[in-house]
Each structure stands twice: as structure tokens, then as C-alpha cells.
Structure 1
Amino acid sequence: MMSSNNSLNATDLRDRLQTLASREGIRRWDLGAACSDDCSVQVDRGEAKQLKASQRSSITVRVWNSDGLVGITSTTDLSDSGLEQALVGAHTASRFGNPEDIPEFSPLATAPLPELDRPLQPRQGILPLLDTLRDAEADLLGRHPAIQTVPYNGLAESLSQSLYLNSEGALRQMERTQASLYLYARAEETGRKPRSGGAVRLGLGSSELDVQGCISEAVDRTVSHLDYRPIETGSYRVCFTPEAFLSLLGAFSSMFNARSVLDGVSLSQRDSIGSDVAVPFFNLHDDGLHPGHISAAAFDGEGTPTRRLSLIEGGTLRNFLHSEATARAFGVQPTGHAGLGAKVSVGPDWFVVGSNPQVSSGNTLNHRTESGSFVLIEDLSALHAGVKATQGSFSLPFDGWLVNNGERVSVEAATVAGDIRSVLNGISHLEADSEITHRGVSPHVWVDGLSITGEA
């Protein structure tokens, strides 16, 4: 169990809820809870900029009345009086429930859970975190004379617990530890524009974070952009780094989201399953259980077990991400991607991009050895502003390089524009080696004929 004061005992909580619900004449209910004990630090030129410790809890209670309508309340009070108030409030609210959209319990809420190998790690506390981050900042600043500041940085660790209970016997509970480090450096040279670069590392605990690797990557990325030049507007062969391609996919994840499909805010339609949406050598899975996924959970907000799900196989759309309600609407099983709330949400866990082993791209492109001219895109910005998810179009500022005969020159300022459907159908090659990033797993992805606009 969690050692913090926010620790939840699922069995005790279920028994208390059942007693209180019976007293109030409530026969059908469920509860989802998430509690965390977090601490984080930020520094500025060796001085502590922000030290923060917090305990957070979020509890959602749903009640079905005798007419089958659902009411929902949120609370942070797990005392008997607090739970009773939440149950009564949800029961009262159920009179105003939407008869056109009635959620049910997931049929998989009591199914066996997958095994997760995520051993809990000890937490160091704020002062050791501060020392580690202060040393990391000093090390980074000393790596190159042009690097003047590390304006965005942070080191954090957390212990969290999730659970799901319902009146039909579901009892899900898990706890996990997680730590993160990010370093974002800024370099300035006389007469030149400031240039920036950063890196992120995640781990089960702060003691296992690759601090030196994070420092080196932040330095390399920042310094590599010092010698920048403008790029001419035109159509280019583009190579996306794994992180950049996963960012682009994530911005259009509504393509695979059954809730978005039903709400009419997705590029996909109800009958899109089985249609070709990408080149035949492209595979995409959502794998929340992947060993590289530090934040893996064995179940979703409705208690449905997490599993590996094929989204695109051989270029063909195979599945949508589902909650209980969307799965019922499509006549399939829930996939373990629901978030419990006033309206049950659906979202991806961990994208894994790969090649279809049965189909070759016919190319042997490699971003390290390619002698032709191409643009290597490292990072995409303004994803919320520059993406029209319901239309498929995007126009995004990026950090990257124009590569010509092996020589890399940083692009001063430019945007890449296109349509996600054209991108998926215009992929010319997926490199053989995949990388685990903090966003998911992907190789370098090559796309021909993308429009790039340079700074006027």
C-alpha cells in the first residue's frame, strides 16, 4: 500500500460504500479514484526557483437510479459522511440523467488483469532532488560557452494510486512510482538569434534517471542549432525523428477514437474500419503495456484491462479505441482506453509505430547516411494551434536541419504543412531501428513531398 496519508484501502472502501449505498436504497454504483503524492523542483542559475510538494486526490462516484438513469459527483472526502454525501448527491443528480446516453459497467471490469513489471522505487525527497537538478544545471551550463541559461527545467517524482470499484464486485487497485527530468537550454551568440534545445528522461524512480544522458542530449540539440540559415519555401523530402512523428500522430489521435467518431469530430466514420488509411508497410499499435511505457496501468477508468491493440495493420484501419459505451454502440468489446468522468472520455495510451514485415517500402533510406537532400524534423511546435484535427490539416513550426550530402544546417525558422491522410499515404520508408521516447515507440519516418515555408 501507499505510505502517504492519501493511501486508499480498496477492500475497506468497497465495504463502506456498499453499506452506505444499502442504507440509502442505492443498488447500483461505481467509484473511480486517483491519488498522488508528488514533489518537484526547479532551479535558476543554481538557486531554487520552485520547490513544491502536494497530495492530490480525485474521486468520482456514479449512481444508477431505479429508472436506469445515471448521476455523477466528485469528491475528495473519503470519510463515511463524505462518501454518503457523494452517493446521495449522485443519486439526486440521476433524476436529471440523459436517457440518450446511459453508461453501463464494463463487461470486462472483473476480467483478469495483465501482469505489470513496474516495481515501486523509493523516493528521495525535495532536498536531494534539488541537489541533483542544481548539479545538472551547472554541468549543462559548463558544456558550451554559448549556453547562457537553462530557462525551463524540472525534476519530479511521484507515488500514485488508482482504483475502480463497483456494486457488482469489481475491485481494481494499483500503485506506481514515477520520476521525470527535463532540461531545456538556451544559447546566445553575438549578432545571432537565441537558439534552444531540450531533452526529457522518465523513470520509475528519480535514482534511475539518466541525468548525464539528458544533459548531453540537451547540449547536443542546442549547439546543433547555432549555425542556422534560412530555408527556401518549397516541397521537400522530410524525415521525422521518432519523437516528432509521434507528436504528429498524437495530434490526430481522434482518427482512432470511437468517442470522437460518434461525436462527429473525427476524420474517421463508423464504417471506416477496414479501409486503407496508410501505405501497406505501415503498422500502428496502441500498447499501454509496452516495457518502455513508464506510466503503464493495468486497467482503465472503467476497470477494463489494458491490452495491446492493433490500430493500423498493413495500412488498413483495424480498430478504434473504445470505452464501454462506444464499444456497445459498435458491437465490440471495450479496449481499455476509458477515463471516468461526467462524460466518459477515450484516449490513447502508448503508440507503437512499426513496419509490416510482409511488405517492403522498396527504399533503404537512413538519416545518418543518406547523401541526397532532405529536411530532418526534430520537434514540432504549436500543436494545439496549428492542427485542425477534424479536417486533417496541419501547419506547424518545427526545429530541424536541412541535410545535403551529409552536411546538416539548422533551419532558422520555418513551418511544415500538410494533411495527415496524405502523410500516412505518402510515407516512403520506415527505418529499421525504432526508438523508445517519452511519447511512444517509432523509427525515423520518411515522407516525400511535404510543403515547407521558410521565414520571409
Structure 2
Amino acid sequence: MTSTVTATPGVGQGLDAQALRTSLERLAASAGIRQWDLGAACSTDTSVQVDRGEAKQMKGAQRSSITIRVWNDDGLVGVTSTSDLSEAGLEKALAGARDASAFGNADDTPQFSPLATAPLQELHQPLQDPQGILRLLDTLKGAEADLLGRHSAIATVPYNGLAERSSERLYLNSAGASRQQRLSTASVYLYARAEETGRKPRSAGAVRLAYGAADLDIAGCIDEAAQRTISHLDYAPITTGRYTCVFSPEAFLDLIGAFSSLFNARAVLDGVSLSNRESIGQPLAVPFLSIHDNGLHPGNIGASAFDGEGTPTRRLALVEGGVLQNFLHSEATARAFGVAPTGHAGLGAKVSVGPDWFEIGPTPGSGGGQQGLDRFRAPEPIVWIDSLSALHAGVKASQGSFSLPFDGWLVQGGEARSIEAATVAGDIRTLLNAIVGFEGEAKVTPDGLCPHVWVEGLSVTGDA
């Protein structure tokens, strides 16, 4: 059993935005710095892992981080990061950023977001008191024991964890912006491994999120992990060919996330996206598909009210009726495109841009493609893709191609049988235009909201 406790100076008492601003204004004035901004975060994390009824790892950590940007008289930006929030630490960070500004990139100079002082949407995120590491340990031991008892073939739960976090983040700038958000979150994951004599091991898992450990759906996580693992025990090879594939919500969200550079203005400007400046308003997918980025959705546990530049988070239409409508923007990319920032920026000299939480489904009023789809009533064999693997290696985002191992089932005659081993391959643009329709209600997952998605004519490579 491993027990780890780490601490970082300056955390434990939370972030005092007013005190930080007062200190920064005084220190910046004494250093001759007129323009600056700051992003800071601190957290207290507790987590446990178990192995067959015994504690495997117990961890507690307090962390803090701060990023300061300083603009010099030539408009160039310098950046420094630190974990020391003391007066001396802030002074050193400001001096470091000021000195670094002499080497700033004149061709890519961020500015303050024009929306850094705009009103924020109120989020309902109830703060929960932590349960403590010993109670987490007892809860996870019980969950592991329950899962091990669901089937004789489930011998271990090799990957598991129960964690809770209290966090705080803020953004300040010399133009008067002041953002602050406090949040508590908890998570549990259970990944079981089943083995039968003469058969290959089979694995599957589940995850749940909540605002506090007491609110986690532990029973639902156990049920899902057990059901998915057991359903893969009776497996068989699949014949290589082209199939209509049904993506689970989790699998389709993973795939869209892997190709999110399609919607990323930073990637467009850097020339590493399949999209370009003229792509807005052009068809990207079937005319009944809509994709929104909505970090404010109530199902998004851990939602941020503002991005790294202080821009408010909002719901943004990326694809509507199959047509590309918007890119994700930081202040700098929005200025380059002549639009408003969208609330998807990080913080740095060259600011990163990334999605928050996807909503995927039919465009209202479009009919949503074929109606009444049911994989168990389909006349032809259907490949049901439950989860994708090796996304980091099997996706070439700038080219649009993917080749990904997956776990899933072959559905024939109303019966589903697990697929021993297979890979699905294709091109993301072709896939988005080969969507047949949607099945079932949209499901809330940690990464977004999505129903089952039917796609025809995908290449599946199996062992048979």
C-alpha cells in the first residue's frame, strides 16, 4: 500500500482575490509595470485505490499554480508560472514575466479579452464537505467486493479509484477584471477484469461524477461495470468488411473530441486543422446533425463559468443542420477572425484553445435522419461500438483519418455477441456524411451529451 501526502506553499487557506489584487497592483507599480493579468488555481485532492479488499494507494495533496502575464511598453508579452503565492513569490513572478516580455513574439500578441468584465451566468454547483480518506477507503472496498461478487469470472478490479476535490480558481487583470469560482467534485471508476479457462481475459468499466462523494452513484457504477464486463465474456471473431456501425454516446463523443481541431480557431491559424478560414458556412456533415459546445450544461460536473482569459463560458453552435457555424476562440484568434471570444481559452503567451463539453444530436425540425432505429431489429448485421482505444495513436487529426481498436458487439437477429478483437477505420469527414440517424435518448456522459449514432459503410477489420 502506498500512502502519499504532498503540499504546496500558499494553499490550504484558499485564494483571496482582493488581497492578490492589492499586492499585484502595488508590486506592479513599484516595478513600472502598467499592464498585467493573472490566472490562479488551488485545490485539495484526496483519493484512494484498493486491491482485493486492501488499500493499494491513499493520496492527499494540496496544490496551487499561478500564471502571470506582463506587457512591456512595446506591447510584447512575457509569461511566468509559479506555485508560490506569497508576496515574495508574486514579486519574483512579476519580475520574471517583465524580463521575459523582451523576448515576446511580436507576431502573436494576446490582449485582454473584451468580455473579461462581462456578466457571468450563475451556475448551480453546491459545495460539498469532504468525507475524508478513511470513509472513501471503506466505500471503495465495499464497491470492489460487490463488483467481484457479480460473476465468478470477475477475478480482479485492477483499475479503480474514488476521489474528492475542493478547488478554486480566479482571473484578475490590471483593467479591473475579477473572476473567482469555487467548486467541489468527486469521482469513482471501476474497471473489472474477467477470466475463464481457455478464454482470453475480458475487461470493461464505468465511471461516475458528482459534486460530492456522498452523491456519487456507486451502485450504478457497479451495475454498469459488471454488465459490460459480463457481456464481453461470450466473444467471437468478426469477419473483415464494411458494416453499419452504431456508436455508443461515449465512443462517438471520444471520436469527435479527437477531431476537435475541426472547430479550433488556433489550429486553423496554425495550419493543423482540416478546416480553414473559409470553412464557416460550409457543409461539414449530414443536414440533420448538430454539434454544440456547452460547458454550462447542468450535466457537466466541474463546469467553469469563465475561461483562462476571464471570458464567460457559453453555449456555442459548432455545427447546425450539418453546416459549420462557428470556431472555438480565444481573444487573439477572435481578433484575427473579427469575432468575439467564445470562452474556450487557456492562459499563456500563445493562448491555447479547446472545447468544454459537447452536445450532439439531431437538428430540431430536421427529422434526425432515419426514424425508429433499433440495432436489435436491424435486418443486416450491425457492429455496436461501445468504446474506442488508442485515440492518441490511431487518430491523425490534421489528415482526418483514424484507425482505432474498439470493444463492442456484433448484433444479428436481435442477439448481440461480443467481438473478440477488431479495428474500425475511416475518414472523419466521410463519417460525418455517412450518419444514418440516431437511436434512443441522448445520454449525459463525463464528456458530453449524445445519443447512439448510426453510421453506414465503415471499414471493420477483424481476426476472422
* TM-score, normalised relative to structure 1: 0.98
CA distance in 1, matches of 2:370, 2:351: 43
> 1:6, 1:37 within 8 Å by CA — same for their partners in 2?
no
Aligned position for 2:400: 392
Measure the CA separation in 2 of the matches of 1:285 and 1:225. 33
Aligned to 1:49, which of 45, 50, 56?
56
Quote how far apart the aligned CAs of 1:19 are: 0.7
Structure 1 residue 6 displacement after superposition: 4.6
Residues 1:427 and 2:435 are matched in the alignment: yes
Tell me if the contact between 1:32 and 1:61 (Cα under 8 Å) persists in the aligned partners: yes
1:325 matches 2:332: yes
Q: State the Cα distance separating 1:343 from its structure 2 match.
A: 2.3
User: For residues 367 and 200 of structure 1, what CA distance do their matches in structure 2 show?
Assistant: 25
Aligned counterparts of 1:275 and 1:88: Cα–Cα separation in 2: 47
Counterpart pick for 1:280 among 275, 287, 301: 287
Q: CA deviation at 1:372?
A: 3.6
Which of 193, 216, 220 does residue 213 from structure 1 map onto?
220
Q: Distance in 1 between matches of 2:376 and 2:170?
A: 46
Cα distance in 1 for partners of 2:436, 2:461 equals 21
Distance 1:400 1:307, change over 3 A: same
Paired with 1:432 and 1:135, the residues of 2 have a C-alpha distance of 33
Residue among 202, 208, 212 paired with 2:209: 202
Query: What is the aligned counterpart of 1:353 among 335, 357, 360?
Result: 360
Letter in 2 for 1:312: V
What's 2:419 paired with?
411
CA distance in structure 2 between the partners assigned to 1:122 and 1:254 by the alignment: 38
Deviation at 1:367, TM superposition (A): 3.1
The answer as to whether partners of 2:376 and 2:411 remain within 8 angstroms in 1 is: no
Query: Any idea what SS the aligned residue of 1:127 has?
Result: helix
Matched, 1:442 2:455: no
Query: Where do 1:224-239 residues align within 5 Å?
Result: 224-239=231-246
Instruction: Give the deviation of 1:432 after TM superposition.
Output: 4.5
Shift of 1:369: 4.2
Structure 1: how far apart are the matches of 2:349 and 2:419? 45
- Structure 2 equivalent of residue 245 of structure 1: 252
| Aligned residues of 1:178 and 1:202 also touching (Cα < 8 A) | yes
How far is the alpha carbon of 1:412 from its aligned partner?
A: 0.2
For each residue in 1:71-92, what CA deviation from the matched residue of structure 2 results, as whole angstroms up to 9, or x when unmatched? Answer: 1111111111111111111111
The alpha carbon displacement at 1:64 in A equals: 0.4
* Cα offsets for 1:180-209 (capped at 9, x unmatched): 000000000000000001000000000000
Q: Which amino acid counterpart does residue 319 of structure 1 have in structure 2?
A: N
Aligned match of 2:126:
119
Q: Residue deviations 1:269-321, cap 9 Å, x none? A: 11100000000000000000000000101000000000000000000000000
The letter of the residue matching 2:76 is L
Aligned identity (percent) is 68
The aligned residue for residue 102 of structure 2 is 95
Q: 2:267 aligns with which of 260, 281, 289?
A: 260
Supply the distance in 1 between the matched residues of 2:164 and 2:106 (Cα, whole angstroms): 43
Moved more, 78-87 or 294-303: 78-87
Are the aligned partners of 1:6 and 1:55 in contact in 2 as well (CA < 8 Å)? no
SS of residue matched to 1:346:
coil
Structure 2 counterpart of 1:376, which letter? W
Q: Deviations over 1:6-47 (max 9, x none)?
A: 511101111110011011111000000111110100000011
Q: Is the 8 A contact 1:254 1:260 kept in 2?
A: yes
In the TM superposition, residue 67 of structure 1 has moved relative to its aligned partner by 0.9
User: Matches of 2:206 and 2:370 in 1, distance apart?
Assistant: 33
SS in 1 for 2:279: coil
User: Unaligned 5+ residue runs, structure 2?
Assistant: 1-9
Query: Is 1:340 the counterpart of 2:357 in the alignment?
Result: no
Distance between the aligned counterparts of 1:262 and 1:310, measured in 2?
20
Name the SS for the 2:277 alignment partner: coil
Q: CA RMSD in A?
A: 1.1
Aligned residue number for residue 87 of structure 2: 80
1:364·1:429 contact (CA, 8 Å) conserved in 2?
no
Aligned to 1:69: 76
Q: Amino acid of the residue matched to residue 28 of structure 2?
A: A
